[in-house]
Amino acid sequence: MKLKRSKTNNSTLNSSKVFNLKKSGNEDSVSSKSTQKDKSALPRKLSKDVKQKPTIDVSSVTSGTKKRKRPWRQAVRRKAKRERLGAQVSELSVDEDLEQEDFSEDNSQSEEPRKKTKRSRKKRLRDKNRILAKCFDSNNNNEQEAKEKLQTSKSPDSRLDAARFRYVNEQLYTHPSTSAVQLFKEDPNAFEAYHRGYKLQLKKWPFNPLNSILLDLSSLPPGSVIADLGCGEAELAERLGSKYKVHSFDLVSLNERVVVADMAKIPLARESVDVCVYCLSLMGTNLAHFFREAHRVLKMNGKVKIVEVTSRFKNIKKFIDALGKMGFQLKRK
């Protein structure tokens, strides 16, 4: 409110100023008329004298009488300014030298503790590695087994299996499941070599992905039906076969628990399975066929368990959206 009021007062003052200026202009015109009449009343000689009086232009006088600068005083001022700036520069250089000396002293003092911290970090890493090695040995319950694993990993046969594993793995990921079936029919040893390489790769991982699925499935009611798609050696059926009905499917049968089948064509009835499991088995370019078949064999409100390497997914959100369009709903990630 105060601001509004101050603005209104200023506007009235401005308007009054304008009004007064207009008034002053009228008064000047009246005075000029009166002077003309007075001039006409004067005698001719006086009027001539008045006309002949010289007029002085104030602007020309003021412009002509400019003060001259004294050059000697300017020179003295410039010299004093140079001396002042030189003193400041010298002070700055001295301060910088002092700071550099202090910094070098600090560095010389701090070099020794830094070396100590590096050494302590290395010791900590060594201690952690020893602890992890002990945990690894305790899980296997035998030091000889660990040594045998290291020897097998360095053997030429293991290197050959690893090379074949990479080749077969690339073929499985870049071709549909039908071509994978044809590949293993032509070369049955390729599947065994692939699984040997898979086991070697699994030993390098910090945990077994199958363990997370075992924990999730342990909460199912007894007698539930599970379909292990891409089962490998059917380890899931081996561990949970006494409690649940487990169907194990893969492209090649490594033991009596495995049924040879393509994941796009499972020999199961419609709505006969409670849970479908994909543990590192989403290979091939026809994944939509796999999930369509899983949707066919699953009961209403059935579940799909997927364990896969995260680096394989370019966009997890798009993958989940695609599954949603095929009739699935994300419950937990």
Domain map (residue ranges) of the chain: 138-206, 207-333
Give the pLDDT of residue 197.
81
In this structure, are residues 194 and 169 in contact, taking their beta carbons and an 8 Å threshold?
yes
Of 14-23, 47-56, 182-191, 245-254, which has the strongest mean pLDDT? 245-254
Question: What are φ and ψ of residue 258, in 5° steps?
Answer: -95, 135
HSE on the CB side for 274, CA within 13 Å?
12
Share of residues in the chain with pLDDT > 90 (%):
23
In this structure, are residues 21 and 28 in contact, taking their beta carbons and an 8 Å threshold?
no
Considering the domain 138-206 in this protein, what is its CATH number?
1.10.10.2150
* Order of all β-strands in the sheet with 258-260: 258-260, 245-250, 225-229, 273-279, 298-307
In this structure, are residues 271 and 298 in contact, taking their beta carbons and an 8 Å threshold?
yes
Give the pLDDT of residue 245.
96
Q: Which CATH class is domain 207-333?
A: alpha beta
**In the block, which residue shows the tokens 């089948």?**
261
Question: What's the whole-model pTM score?
Answer: 0.53
Average pLDDT over residues 97-120: 49
- Containing 135, the helix (H) or strand (E) segment is helix 71-140
Q: Each residue of 261-282: pLDDT tens digit?
A: 999 999 999 999 999 999 999 8
